[in-house]
């Protein structure tokens, strides 16, 4: 009797859709060394992370924080997507 082998591959994807009026803001990210889409720290938390978790990721350099002259903290969307 011949042995049969069955291989199953499962791929999962997660999509986060943020819908707002207006266009997405862009700014320079020194860590990426390019112009990127940016979102507020509060909007970054919609992705399921707490503010504390986002801040820990910022401290380790996995999420790029962009601080504006006005004192706002913005997140590089490219770095948020990669985590």
Determine which helix (DSSP H) or strand (DSSP E) holds 65, and give its type and residue range.
strand 65-67
In a domain? residue 48: yes
Per-residue pLDDT for 20 more than 70?
Answer: no
Q: For the chain, what is the radius of gyration of the CA atoms?
A: 18
Per-residue confidence at 14, pLDDT binned at 50, 70, 90? low
Evaluate whether residue 56 is within a structural domain: yes
Tell whether 42 is covered by a domain. Answer: yes
Residue 5 belongs to a domain: no
Among residues of the chain, what percentage have pLDDT more than 90? 28
Q: What is the pLDDT of residues 30-69, one digit of tens each?
A: 999 999 999 888 888 776 788 888 889 999 999 999 988 8
Q: Is there a domain that residue 1 lies in?
A: no
63 occurs within a structural domain: yes
Q: Into how many domains does the chain fold?
A: 1
Do the Cβ atoms of 35 and 26 come closer than 8 Å? yes
The pTM (predicted TM-score) of the whole model is 0.68
Whether the CB-CB separation of 44 and 56 falls below 8 Å is answered with no
Rounded Cα distance, 67 and 64, in Å? 10
Range of the domain at 47: 26-82
């Amino acid at each position: 009797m011949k042995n049969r082998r069955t291989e199953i591959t499962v791929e999962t994807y997660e999509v986060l859709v943020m819908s707002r009026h207006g266009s997405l803001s862009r700014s320079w990210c020194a860590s990426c060394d390019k112009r990127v889409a940016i979102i507020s720290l509060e909007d970054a938390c919609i992705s399921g992370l707490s503010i504390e978790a986002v801040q820990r990721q910022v401290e380790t350099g996995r999420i790029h924080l962009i601080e504006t002259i006005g004192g706002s903290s913005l997140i590089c969307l490219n770095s948020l997507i990669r985590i």
